[in-house]
Amino acid sequence: MEGSGVKVDTIYCGDACELLEQWAPGKVDLAFADPPYNIGYIYDKYQDDLPDQQYVAWCRRWMAGCQRVLKADGAFYIAIGDDFAADLRIVGRELGLHLRNWIIWHYTFGQNTRAKFARAHTHILYFTKHPDRFVFNDRLLRYPSARHTEYQDLRASPLGRLPDDVWDDFPRVCGTFRERAGFHGCQLPEALLTRIILASSNPGDVVLDPLLGSGTTAVVAKRLGRKYVGIDISEEYVGHARERLKQVRDESRAQPQGHRWPELHEDMLAQLYRETKVSAANLLPNEVALRVIAASLSARTGAQYDAGQVRERLQLLADKNKLPKLPNDTAFVARSHVKSEGKRYVRQVKRWEGRRGKAEESRGGARNAI
């Protein structure tokens, strides 16, 4: 970024608040930040248990830094947990940012709880610097609606529908995932950042993540042909993120070569499948839905795909067991609990019940003592 004191396609190791204050204003198109949530999580360098007011003051400082370096038509997304989402929304207002959406990212496999409902979501605050001047590439976000998938309705928009503000199509990065880098416990899914970067930037734009962690924002920005700038305070994370980035190419102009599809295009098709939420068995015969997927895939990738190619590739991915798992997408097969696996299950249930009984006894004891 000319004259800004910042080099693009660079990951800085340092304090985001200090660095952002030194950089020239108005150079960044999109900022994304996923701060520590002040819940006592263990990081390499950062202490995640500040007094509440101190935590909010710290967030205000890096938020003000991001707001300053954003261009006049820039966008700013912040992922944040329950405890401080409302505080950061207010800080955003005080800084003059405009809230366009308060997104809920709902993921499965929330942590188990006994005395309250399991927490299975993160808030994503989507702000823009200007109330009505901003980039929002709606064409790149669309997928088939129920009118396509349920009714094969030809009158429904052939471009598909936009996601709403509850996002339930991005599973958290599990241990078995190919994309898992394995050195940072808070790694966000690439598909989530893909939606945000596609929505709010264009190829060649500058994407900033001031609290970069494992490097996901920079990885996705690079794949999509954006320029990235990342900051993290941990030398260890920065070292790993730089290595992770070396494995990634700009695939924004990649085109299929016959039957060989760029990896980015296959990943985008898999994500469209997840967004459509219809199992392959029901989707493959549905020409109307496949046409919408082809239109959206073409918009997202810049290549030209038709419904036939999409059907063929989905079938191939299904045959190789590479399609994302959807709820209830496989036929039910009853298990015989007489067999050994059934006995093991019964033994496990007894063990759980035993443990639960003891826990309840001790809780009951404590209650009686009050």
Kindly state the smallest distance separating residue 186's Cβ from ligand SAM, in Å.
4
Choice between 35 and 160, CB closer to ligand SAM: 35
- Residues 227-246 binding ligand SAM (CB under 6 A) are 231-234, 237
Kindly state the smallest distance separating residue 36's Cβ from ligand SAM, in Å.
5
Please identify which residue in 9, 15, 21, 73 interacts with ligand SAM, judged by CB under 6 A. 15
Q: Which stretch binds ligand SAM (CB under 6 A): 163-171, 179-187, 282-290, 354-362?
A: 179-187
20 is a site residue for ligand SAM (CB under 6 A)? no
Choice between 87 and 329, CB closer to ligand SAM: 87
**C-alpha torsion sign, points 279, 288, 166, 218:** positive
Please identify which residue in 30, 56, 88, 188 interacts with ligand SAM, judged by CB under 6 A. 188
Q: How far apart are the first and last CA of the chain?
A: 64
In degrees, rounded to 5, the angle at the alpha carbon of residue 103 between the alpha carbons of residues 116 and 182 is: 75
Contact characters 284-323, ligand SAM, x per CB under 6 A:
----------------------------------------
Kindly state the smallest distance separating residue 182's Cβ from ligand SAM, in Å.
11
CB atoms within 10 A of CB 217: 32
293 close to 133: Cβ distance less than 8 angstroms: no
Choice between 238 and 314, CB closer to ligand SAM: 238
Per-residue DSSP letters for 292-359? HHHHHHHHHHSS---HHHHHHHHHHHHHTT-SPP-TT-S---PPPTTSHHHHHHHHHHHHHHHHHHHH
Q: Which residue in 131, 175, 174, 140 sits closest to 160, CA to CA?
A: 140
63 is a site residue for ligand SAM (CB under 6 A)? no
Q: CA–CA separation, 135 vs 75, rounded Å?
A: 8
Q: Which stretch binds ligand SAM (CB under 6 A): 13-21, 119-127, 129-137, 141-149?
A: 13-21
Pull the structure tokens for residue 337.
Answer: 């609990």
Task: Name the amino acid, one letter, at 98.
Answer: H
Q: CA–CA separation, 186 vs 208, rounded Å?
A: 18
| Kind and range of the H or E run holding 235 | helix 235-246
264 is a site residue for ligand SAM (CB under 6 A)? no
186 is a site residue for ligand SAM (CB under 6 A)? yes
Kindly state the smallest distance separating residue 219's Cβ from ligand SAM, in Å.
9
Q: CA–CA separation, 267 vs 256, rounded Å?
A: 13
Residue carrying the six token digits 């690439």: 190
Kindly state the smallest distance separating residue 153's Cβ from ligand SAM, in Å.
38
Task: Tell me the number of residues near ligand SAM by CB under 6 A.
Answer: 22
Please identify which residue in 11, 28, 29, 36 interacts with ligand SAM, judged by CB under 6 A. 36
Choice between 58 and 307, CB closer to ligand SAM: 58
Choice between 37 and 305, CB closer to ligand SAM: 37
Task: Name the amino acid, one letter, at 15.
Answer: D
Q: Which residue in 125, 206, 214, 122 sits closest to 170, CA to CA?
A: 122
CB atoms within 10 A of CB 231: 25
Q: CA–CA separation, 7 vs 135, rounded Å?
A: 23
Q: Which stretch binds ligand SAM (CB under 6 A): 38-46, 158-166, 220-228, 263-271?
A: 38-46
- CB-based closest residue to ligand SAM: 213
Q: Which residues bind ligand SAM (CB under 6 A)?
A: 15-17, 34-36, 43, 45-46, 184, 186-188, 211, 213-214, 216, 231-234, 237
